[in-house]
Structure 1
Amino acid sequence: MKSYLQIASFVLCFVCLLSCGEQNKEKPSNPTESKQANTNADSLSLPEGAASESASEETAADSTFVLTEDNAIDFFFEYQKGLKVNKVKLTTSMGSFTVQLYDNVPYHKANFIYLTRKGYFNNTMFHRVVKDFIIQGGNADNVETARKRSEIGRYLLPPDTRKGYRHDRGTISMPSSEINNPHMLASPYEFFIVVTNPGSYHLDGDYTAFGKVIEGMDVVDAINQVEVDDGDWPMKNIYIKKAEVVQ
């Protein structure tokens, strides 16, 4: 009898130890809940005044966030609040140049910085060159560019032409979408730079000037002089190898 009680006691202790071990396994947080928390932290609806440079960078790095016609304006309204940078350097297959973006054209500035940080412009091309007028970039006939557009989202930007900026030589501006666009909404993935001296002022009021070339205008001029086909596409591809935000 005594031996039986000892065996029963041993079994009971073993069960208790096993139960404690199972409880310890449940202590770490649920991975699904953690993932949901991170998603909410990077979501569009930020508290008023909570936008910051680091928060902007985190959202820019979030591969799950997709811009749409419904959320783009709200997103860039919040995104621009934390932006303390306003210069982007573009390194092309013909040299590099730097643009400075206007702080009081916030949506277009924020859009350009956001796409730069997402790496969108890397490996795109100057796909349209009109001599003594403009060079236009941000597009490419490759699968990579189409994929990046799909991942970032489909959206347009409203024009912002009342800040007093004109299309002087060296101005960077945004073309309007050609598809079902009576309000001249801007195509966010492309841009053009005015080469005309002193400027192309017939564009004022229709297209949003949102910055200017501050270094490397000779590279822009060189791109503008390349040989093109009947559709203004350069005969030899001119790549934007890298776009990067600079201080």
Structure 2
Amino acid sequence: MKRTRAFAAICHPILVVACLVSLASCNQDNKAAQQQRETPPPVAEEPTLKSLTPETAVPVLTEFAKNNPDSLFLIRTRLGDIKVRLYKDTPLHRANFVRLAKAGFYDEGEFYRVVKGFAIQGGDSDERKMKLGAYKIPQEINLKNLHIHKKGALAMARYGDERNPEKESSSHNFYIVQGKPRSVSELRAIEAQHHMQYTPEQIRIYKTLGGEPGLDTEYTVFGEVVEGLDVVDKIANVQVGGGDWPVDVVKHQIKVVEN
């Protein structure tokens, strides 16, 4: 309206017609602008993710893996970035992680369980909107080429043996190991308990870098941190409340980076 009144005030008697044309033009412009303001912007559709079932999970993930060989990912948090590389010999776990990351599922998640000296667990959130169906991933634990739970190991959570004797992994809940250095005697005891044997290199890693060997052969490790172990430590050190849930939320976003 201010612009219309300004046009009317400067009109000269001999320019009445021109002024009327200007006023009509201005009114049309204002009307169009008002309509534009009153029309809400289009609402962006929420990302969709096709739900999987126990019957469809393996074939869908197997097919997805053929065209999605991505293996390097960036986990962004308010405390810094963590870069992880996924293993090629755990194809179902890798395909599942890639699929959820590319669909934006993990962008709605957070590190919701933090146990200092043990691990940080993420992938879920009470505020999640996306659904993915009720399914589990068959375990991919290979004793001949065992991926150990060294510090920085990326693995999938699962229900205990009572409910899940096949050791099938969660569809989306993952964890990153923090752990601590271990002695040779501890490692020998775990070897006997789990009926397996560490290589000299794996023993060296557990003695120096550290980790959680008690989880070996029990959960599928499908990747590892290649940058940002210090960020894992920062997250592990946050203050937690009931259920080991961080007092200040540690949300995460997970994106593919160039391999």
Instruction: Give the TM-score normalised by the residue count of structure 2.
Output: 0.66
Structure 1 counterpart of 2:137 = 157
Q: Which aligned pairs between 1:63-142 and structure 2 lie closer than 5 A? A: 63=48, 65-142=50-127
1:189 to 166, 172, 178: 172
Match of 2:130, SS state, is: helix
State the shift of 1:243 in Å. Answer: 1.1
1:180 counterpart residue number: 163
Q: Deviations over 1:57-80 (max 9, x none)?
A: xxxx99473211110001111111
The equivalent of 1:49 in structure 2 is none
Q: Note the C-alpha offset of 1:184.
A: 2.0
Q: Deviations over 1:28-56 (max 9, x none)?
A: xxxxxxxxxxxxxxxxxxxxxxxxxxxxx
Distance 1:188 1:88 in 2: 18
CA distance in 2, matches of 1:129, 1:67: 28
On the 8 A contact 2:47/2:104 being kept in 1, the answer is no
SS of the residue aligned with 2:114?
strand
1:168 alignment partner, one of 150, 166, 170: 150
Q: Which has the larger radius of gyration?
A: 2
Q: How far apart, CA to CA, are the structure 2 residues paired with 1:121 and 1:93?
A: 15
Aligned length: 181
C-alpha RMSD of matched pairs (Å):
1.9
In the alignment, which residue of structure 1 is the partner of 2:26? none
What is the rounded CA distance, in whole Å, between the counterparts of 2:121 and 2:102 in structure 1? 20
Distance 1:70 1:226, change over 3 A: same
Q: CA offset at residue 199 of structure 1?
A: 1.1
2:216 maps to which of 191, 196, 204? 204
What's 1:225 paired with? 237
CA deviations over 1:183-232 (Å, ceiling 9, x no partner): 22111211000011311011011100000000111111100001111311
Equivalent residue for 1:24?
none
**What is the letter of the counterpart of residue 226 of structure 1?**
V
- Give the Cα separation in 2 of the matches to 1:98 and 1:130: 20
Q: Give, in whole Å, the separation in 1 of the partners of 2:51 and 2:239.
A: 37
Matching of residue 215 in structure 1 with residue 227 in structure 2:
yes
Q: Which amino acid aligns with 1:130?
A: V
- 2:155, 2:225 → 1: CA distance? 11
**What amino acid maps onto 1:229 in structure 2?**
G
Cα distance in 1 between the residues matched to 2:150 and 2:48: 37
| Preserved contact between residue 48 and residue 130 of structure 2 (Cα < 8 Å) | no
Q: Which runs of 5+ in 2 are unaligned?
A: 1-45, 181-209
> How far, CA to CA, are the matches of 1:83 and 1:128 in structure 2?
29
Q: Hey, what's the Cα distance between the residues in 1 that align with 2:248 and 2:73?
A: 25
Q: Aligned in 2, Cα 1:62/1:194: closer, same or farther, shift over 3 Å?
A: closer
Shift of the 170–64 alpha-carbon distance from structure 1 to 2, 3 Å rule, reads closer
Q: After the TM superposition, which of the residue ranges 160-169 and 62-71 deviates more from structure 2?
A: 62-71
1:147-202 deviation digits (Å, cap 9, x = unpaired): 312xx222100111114111011000001135932322111211000011311011
Task: For structure 1, list consecutive stretches of 5 or more residues without a partner in the other structure.
Answer: 1-60
Percent of pairs with identical residues: 35
